[in-house]
Each structure stands twice: as C-alpha cells, then as structure tokens.
Amino acid sequence: MSKKNPEYDFEWCPGCGDFGVRRALESAIQKYTIELEKPIHETVVVAGIGCSGNMVHVLEGDQPYGFHGIHGRTLPIAMGVKMANQDLNVIVVAGDGDFLSIGMEHIFPQASRNLNISVIVMDNAVYGLTKGQGSPTSQIGHVTSSTPYGNTVDGLNPLKLYLTLGVSYIASGISSKVKNLSELMYSAMLHPGFSIVHVQSPCTTYHNTYEQLKGNVKKGIAPLAWQVEEDYDSSDIKSAQASLEKGGIPLGTLYQDSNRPTFGERIETLRDKSKSKSTKDLLDSHAIIL
C-alpha cells in the first residue's frame, strides 16, 4: 500500500495520544526523506492490530509503503521486509498489548540480531481497540474491563526490559511533546541497529493518564514523566540503569550502542565466508549413490 485506502474509515477518539505520535512520525519521516535524499517509497511502515496499528492508514501527506499485519507479529513481518531489501527504512508501529504481550517473544531475537529497523510502541497501558482490557503495562490495582476488582499482577517496566534484552537504541517519549518525540524517532531511523522509541500515548476513553504523566500543580500532582539531563551520556549503560532506577518515566534517548554490527552486516560477512556452489555441485551433494 503506497496510497491511502479510501474505504478505511477508522478514527481515533478525541484527545487520543496517537494523534501526537502521528504528527511526530510524519515529521520524522519527512525529515528522513529530505536529509538523506531517500524517496518516500523507500520507507515502509509495518503495523500491528490495535488503535495504534491504524496509524498506517491515517498518515497525512506523501504515503510511505504500509503493511497492516497481524496482532503481535510486527517484528517477523518487518524482518521479512528488511531482509528482502536492506536499503529500506523499516518502521514498526504497535501498541503495548501487541508488542509486549502476544508479541513479546519476538523482541529478544531481533535485539540479539540487531536488525536495523525502528519500532514505535504506543503505550496506553490498555487494549484500546478491544475496549479497555488490561495489558502488560497496566499497573497493579488498575481497574479495567478485564480486571474489574483491580489488576493483581505487577506492571511491566518496558524500558528495563529493552535494556536487559540488549536493544541497541532505547528512547522514551510522550505523545504531547511532539517535537521531542519526532527527534527521537528521527534518531532511531538513523541508528544502525534495532531501535525502540517507547511512547506514553494515553487512551482518553479507557485510561486517561495525561494528568499523572504531566502532573498538575493546582492539584499537587507531581509529574510521573521527567526529562533526562542535557549532559546525560546515553552511551553509558550504567547511566541508563541508574535513570531507570530513579522511578517515574525518564524521557529522552536513554541508551545507544552504535558499535554493534547490524543483522544485515552479519549476513554479508557470512556470505563473504561461504563458498558459492554451482547447480551441479548442489545436485550432486543430494544425489543418492547406488
């Protein structure tokens, strides 16, 4: 899909955080195409199923290619796209349910391969599309349609998970800070390896967390989200660990290791090492000698 489907008429609810994520993504893609002189059709957006996954249909302006896949399987699809053409700028868009619940098992394989793609996770701590059930990032006690008496399990800290799994670029953003978010997304696209931009993107219908995240001075609510310092060293894993231990939600580029080979480079190295076989050699190697 490189043109909008006129029959797809999905709309986000008023105030949904995904609107801000969309603006940030449109501007990051635009910057990528201009600065790197890469035509828009060299960018591919792979989406999961969820309110967040509908991003692929609602982008404004020049249309990248879009692949609306299946719930939880954005990473295998993105790997297929990237391995078919290493030059593509492959961007995954997924929800917290899609990426961290059913899709969780796919994160470590791509982190360890260092597949050169960028993932944008829209975290609202609920399954928005299916009417507000709890997700892996729902905190303990959270009342949702699937946990009417409160969530009994501890919520996952996705940023700690990514760091533990060896993701080579980890950024954290919030949907209301569109300019900052766009810069994080653009850096993720430039990063040579597996990048995740984890975005707090509140669901105004089932779990409106804007006030908790941004705070409210009049009500004496301290903001949960806080910006890492200007001189923060994202190449130092200890700084990343320390910022995650401080509590709340740190915002910014938390960790970046640009020195690991990408999966594409690893494959190239193997290709150089392996001897190519002729068709006759291949057939002979399978022949049964009677």
Ligand X SMILES: Cc1ncc(C[n+]2csc(CCOP(=O)(O)OP(=O)(O)O)c2C)c(N)n1
Residues near ligand X, by CB under 6 A: 49-52, 71, 95-98, 122, 124, 126-130, 135
- We find the least distance from the C-beta atom of residue 207 to ligand X, in angstroms, to be 9
Residue 90 binds: one of Mg ion, ligand X, ligand SF4, none (C-beta under 5 to 8 A by kind): none
Residue from 93, 117, 174, 203 touching ligand SF4 (CB under 6 A): that is 203
- One-letter amino acid for residue 62 of the chain: D
Query: Cβ closer to ligand SF4: 57 or 260?
Result: 57
* Interface segment toward Mg ion; rule CB under 5 A; list 54-62, 89-97, 186-194, 276-284: 89-97
Q: Rule CB under 6 A: is residue 263 a binding residue for ligand SF4? A: no
- We find the least distance from the C-beta atom of residue 14 to ligand SF4, in angstroms, to be 8
- We find the least distance from the C-beta atom of residue 161 to ligand X, in angstroms, to be 15
- One-letter amino acid for residue 253 of the chain: T
Query: Looking only at residues 97 through 156 of this chain, which bind ligand SF4 when binding is defined by CB under 6 A?
Result: 124, 128-129
Q: If we measure between CA atoms, which residue out of 119, 81, 67 comes closest to residue 98? A: 119
Residue 98 binds: one of Mg ion, ligand X, ligand SF4, none (C-beta under 5 to 8 A by kind): ligand X
Round to whole Å and give the CA distance between 269 and 222. Answer: 51
Residue from 18, 26, 96, 183 touching Mg ion (CB under 5 A): that is 96
* Interface segment toward ligand SF4; rule CB under 6 A; list 177-185, 201-209, 232-240, 281-289: 201-209
- We find the least distance from the C-beta atom of residue 200 to ligand X, in angstroms, to be 12
- We find the least distance from the C-beta atom of residue 91 to Mg ion, in angstroms, to be 18
Query: Cβ closer to ligand SF4: 19 or 255?
Result: 19
Query: Cβ closer to Mg ion: 74 or 124?
Result: 124
Contact status, residue 244 vs residue 157, Cβ threshold 8 Å: yes
* Interface segment toward Mg ion; rule CB under 5 A; list 121-129, 139-147, 222-230, 243-251: 121-129
* Interface segment toward ligand SF4; rule CB under 6 A; list 103-111, 190-198, 204-212, 248-256: 204-212
Round to whole Å and give the CA distance between 175 and 118. Answer: 17
Query: Cβ closer to ligand SF4: 147 or 204?
Result: 204
- We find the least distance from the C-beta atom of residue 98 to ligand SF4, in angstroms, to be 12
Helix/strand/coil (H, E, C) string of the chain? CCCCCCCCCCCCCCCCCHHHHHHHHHHHHHHHHHHCCCCHHHEEEEECCCCHHHHHHHCCCCCCEEEECCCCCHHHHHHHHHHHCCCCEEEEEEEHHHHHHHCHHHHHHHHHHCCCCEEEEEECCEECCCCCEECCCCCCCCCCCCCCCCCCCCCCCHHHHHHHHCCCEEEEEECCCHHHHHHHHHHHHHCCCCEEEEEECCECCCECCHHHHHCECCCCECCCEEECCCCCCCCCHHHHHHHHHCCCEEEEEEEECCCCCCHHHHHHHHHHHCCCCCHHHHHHHHCCCC
Residues in contact with ligand SF4 by the rule CB under 6 A: 12-13, 16, 18, 51, 124, 128-129, 203-206
Residues in contact with Mg ion by the rule CB under 5 A: 95-97, 124, 128
